[in-house]
Amino acid sequence: MWDDLLTAVGEVLLGFWPDTSKAEDYFAAEVLEIREKPRFSGRKRRTVRLRPLIRRPAGWYTCKSRHLPLFTPRRRVFVAVRKNQIIRVSELRQTDQPAIVNKSEKEIKP
């Protein structure tokens, strides 16, 4: 009886456990380096070294050729990663002019 109960509870808990093979990790990073390695008969493996802007170590991630235009050294990008494979990439853009927070009294009054 107890074995069946523990097995049922275990199956329920595993249902709530996230599947790490399908989980994506999102972070902003700076591109450090790009490498292309030959694999077999004309195929190349493209890897990018990214340094996350959060507290994580730099690492190598594989990417597709369509993502290469966004990966130039010293550029900041926002990436979605699954198992060291880059799924999505977008460029981080900073505004050209800082927003004006405090206006003077002359600008407020007409």
Q: Is residue 52 part of a domain?
A: yes
Q: Number of structural domains, the chain?
A: 1
Q: What is the pLDDT of residue 18?
A: 55
Residue 34 falls inside a structural domain? yes
Whether the per-residue pLDDT at 108 is higher than 70: the answer is no
Helix (H) or strand (E) holding 35: strand 25-38
Rama region for 74: left / alpha / beta (φ>0; ψ in -120 to 50; rest) = left
| Residue numbers of the domain that contains 73 | 23-91
Task: List the Cα angle 69/71/72 in 5-degree steps.
Answer: 95
Note the pLDDT tens digit of each residue in 5-28: 667 666 665 555 555 556 678 888
pLDDT digits (tens, 9 = 90+) for 58-93: 899 999 989 999 998 988 899 999 888 999 998 887
Tell me, yes or no, whether 2 lies in a domain: no
Question: Does residue 59 fall inside a structural domain?
Answer: yes
CATH number of residue 27's parent domain = 2.40.50
